Structure 1
Amino acid sequence: MWPAALITAGASAFGRLFAAGILPSTVLVTVVWLLLRADAFSSDKAGLGFSNLIPADFSIKDGGLVLLFVLAIVVVTTILQSFHFGVVRLLEGYWGDSRLAVALVRVGVNRHRSRWLRATAVLGTTGAANDVGSSGAQESPRTRRLQDQAADRRAVLRRELRTKRAADVLAAYPPDVDELLPTRLGNIMRSGERRAGERYGWRTVPAWPRLFPGLSDPVAAAYRSASDAVHTAAVFCVTFLSITLVVGAAFYDDPELWWLPPAMLMLAYVSYRGVVASAVTLGVIQQVAFDRHRFDLFEAMHVPLPGTPDEEYHLAQDLSGFFAKGGERPEEARMFLAGVRRYSHAEPQRWQWLKKLVAGKDQ
């Protein structure tokens, strides 16, 4: 059994490495290789065309060049592998504390705050209009013209469409406007975190590393797949942005190839949309994980299972605080442990066979 599992795990790991490492590295190295072979960065080669990107004497028979090409791919892949998490964080909007970064963050947050407020206003206005419509006197359809009835129906449909769009907009943002980030991806990722564990009192960020190892195989596989999709699309987005800059610097004096930088920029935008779509899926899977496995954390910590939803919420808050702050000051962990009323332990394994035997005789 274990060889099949080992092969499956190895194939999955290689698939992630190929999609998020080897493939974007090959694209980047190939583009830079072709530009260098065509001497595109030289001012003496102005006016290059698309056919000039592959020199006439280009050949793959030279083993040294092939080896150097593969070595470049391996080096770039290794570098990209170490920056996957940082690439996603960069696209989320964590840009540091410099003055320029703070200014850019402020601009992005203000833009998304305006969108958040408009969506909230639409939902509030629509709700008020529905209340007025439901409480006001309704004119009998028999006394109204067909044109007026059709106009009212179109108005209702437009209002419903605006409401749905506003609800979709708010779903992509965290519930609290003060937690907005400067990018769409960052807001979707934070929205998924706030709507996963926080519904039950858990703080998703500190609780997730403890919850993930105990997930069922289908949920864990779905999460890994969505996470791989996020990292792959993010790496491709940054790769195409880099190619846009490189191609723009190489072809600034080649009018026939000015269409290449916008094309690469479009591919970067498409990749970013892929990151956003995968992040939405990732947030949904995190919600499912807490829905199905949140009680496993209580059992793993050997605390009694809560008896009511309120007790569950408060106990989850206490454990989340313990996870978040216990590593900073050991005395805080001792204070939390001192407040635990009792531990809940599983029955000894040596009596499990007896319980099964008695249950079988009862049947």
Structure 2
Amino acid sequence: MRRVLSVHFAPCALFVAGVFVLVRAGSFSGRSDWGAVWPRRPETTLQLTAALTACAALLGLLLQPFQVRAVRVLEGYWDRWPLTARLAGVLTGVQRRRWRALRKRAYGKTGGEREQRIRADALRRLAGHPPGDLLLPTALGNALRAGELSAGERYGLTTLSSWPRIYPQVSGRVDEALRSARDALDTAVNLCWSFLALTATALPALYDEPALWWLPATGLLLAALAYKGAVTTAQAYSGLMHVVYDLHRFDLLEALRYPLPGDRESEEEVFADVSDLLAGIRPERRVYDHRVRGGPEL
């Protein structure tokens, strides 16, 4: 219920309420009359509140299946259309220049205490980026891709294909942290879209009232703030993905009935076979281990 309210209902209610205020003020048909926004009769207030709640709930239900798409658009997966693909190329170039500047600060010569702090900060920020040839056009996309391309790869697992299998093995506390981070990420993304939609709605409504242009500008500012929050949360979520593989990669082997490896070299061999299996490639023949965890051999 908490996820439904924060991720889906609240951003939709924000957008619906904003459109309601503009319509009640008559902003689309002339000068805005803000005194006409709030109804004077209590029964009318209750009716409008119920209508706004119903509209926000319906809009949230309609948009819920597109949650993954809402995140992926802000990540920068824009290659399906020629115009957005061109824009993606330009913004990826910007991200690559920033990445090179970070590398220069991170691995450049160190001097005094101030330079060491700058280098440490650059190293920390660089760890939240994927390799330079795999950068996406947006900061959100790069924050998530950093986890998607390195969390399992450190042990020989392909993260994107193994994540749906390893996630059910996650312990309660880690699962709670993952859910909380994912909810915060989706909420920030949806708030960003709501503020952008409100800005796009307010522009034609208030274009002839220069004194009120600060309202669309505020909407853009709030959208940028929500986007920054999404990037910060995505970095935390990527860090938690690394924790999952640190703690539960062997639980994945037990669930697949693979014997546990005895050393680091055999671990990488086993996980390479698992990655091939998940990718549809026939792995090297291996013996299964059907012992129940903590019980006798079957």
TM over 0.5: yes
| 1:87 aligns to 2:70 (yes or no) | yes
1:281 is aligned, of 236, 259, 272, to 236
Instruction: Give the secondary-structure state (helix, strand or coil) at the position aligned to 2:51.
Output: helix
Q: Which residue of 1 aligns with 2:248?
A: 293
Q: Which residue of 2 aligns with 1:102?
A: 85
In the aligned structure 1, how far is the partner of 2:58 from the partner of 2:187? Answer: 18
The share of aligned pairs that are identical, in percent, is 35
In the aligned structure 2, how far is the partner of 1:256 from the partner of 1:235? Answer: 29
Q: Which residue of 1 aligns with 2:285?
A: 340
Q: Which residue of 2 aligns with 1:256?
A: 211
In the aligned structure 2, how far is the partner of 1:121 from the partner of 1:277? Answer: 23
Q: Which residue of 2 aligns with 1:136?
A: none
Q: Which residue of 1 aligns with 2:133?
A: 178
Aligned residues of 2:206 and 2:213 also touching (Cα < 8 A): yes
| 1:162 aligns to 2:118 (yes or no) | yes
In the aligned structure 2, how far is the partner of 1:350 from the partner of 1:268? Answer: 54
Relative to structure 1, the CA distance from residue 60 to residue 34 in structure 2 (aligned partners, 3 Å threshold; closer, same or farther) is farther
- Residues 92-131 of structure 1 aligned to structure 2 (within 5 Å): 92-126=75-109
Letter paired with 1:291: D
Q: Which residue of 1 aligns with 2:261?
A: 306
Relative to structure 1, the CA distance from residue 299 to residue 33 in structure 2 (aligned partners, 3 Å threshold; closer, same or farther) is same
Q: Which residue of 1 aligns with 2:227?
A: 272
In the aligned structure 2, how far is the partner of 1:231 from the partner of 1:100? Answer: 26
User: Structure 2: 5+ residue runs without aligned partners?
Assistant: none
Relative to structure 1, the CA distance from residue 267 to residue 59 in structure 2 (aligned partners, 3 Å threshold; closer, same or farther) is farther
Matched positions, count: 296
Q: Which residue of 2 aligns with 1:322?
A: 277
TM-score, structure 2 normalization = 0.92
Q: Which residue of 2 aligns with 1:227?
A: 182
In the aligned structure 1, how far is the partner of 2:286 from the partner of 2:49? Answer: 67
Instruction: Give the secondary-structure state (helix, strand or coil) at the position aligned to 2:102.
Output: helix
The CA deviation string for residues 127-172 of structure 1, in whole angstroms up to 9 with x for no partner, is xxx5xxxxxxxxxxxxxxxxxxxxxxxx512321331232133112
In the aligned structure 1, how far is the partner of 2:295 from the partner of 2:185? Answer: 45
Letter paired with 2:83: L
Instruction: Give the secondary-structure state (helix, strand or coil) at the position aligned to 1:95.
Output: coil
Q: Which residue of 1 aligns with 2:3?
A: 16
| 1:187 aligns to 2:142 (yes or no) | yes
Relative to structure 1, the CA distance from residue 159 to residue 322 in structure 2 (aligned partners, 3 Å threshold; closer, same or farther) is same
Question: What RMSD in Å do the two structures reach over aligned CA positions?
Answer: 2.1
In the aligned structure 2, how far is the partner of 1:68 from the partner of 1:184? Answer: 38
In the aligned structure 2, how far is the partner of 1:96 from the partner of 1:53? Answer: 46
Instruction: Give the secondary-structure state (helix, strand or coil) at the position aligned to 1:307.
Output: coil
User: Structure 1: 5+ residue runs without aligned partners?
Assistant: 1-13, 131-154, 327-331, 353-363
Aligned residues of 1:19 and 1:232 also touching (Cα < 8 A): yes
Aligned residues of 2:149 and 2:160 also touching (Cα < 8 A): no
Instruction: Give the secondary-structure state (helix, strand or coil) at the position aligned to 1:61.
Output: helix
TM superposition shift of 1:58: 4.9
In the aligned structure 1, how far is the partner of 2:15 from the partner of 2:113? Answer: 48
The CA deviation string for residues 289-318 of structure 1, in whole angstroms up to 9 with x for no partner, is 111110011111111111111111122122
Q: Which residue of 1 aligns with 2:26?
A: 39
Letter paired with 2:269: H
TM superposition shift of 1:351: 5.3
TM superposition shift of 1:69: 2.6
Relative to structure 1, the CA distance from residue 229 to residue 39 in structure 2 (aligned partners, 3 Å threshold; closer, same or farther) is same
| 1:25 aligns to 2:12 (yes or no) | yes
Q: Which runs of 4+ in 1 moved over 2 A?
A: 57-60, 62-71, 121-125, 347-352
Relative to structure 1, the CA distance from residue 252 to residue 315 in structure 2 (aligned partners, 3 Å threshold; closer, same or farther) is same
Relative to structure 1, the CA distance from residue 248 to residue 344 in structure 2 (aligned partners, 3 Å threshold; closer, same or farther) is same
TM superposition shift of 1:121: 2.3
TM superposition shift of 1:189: 0.3
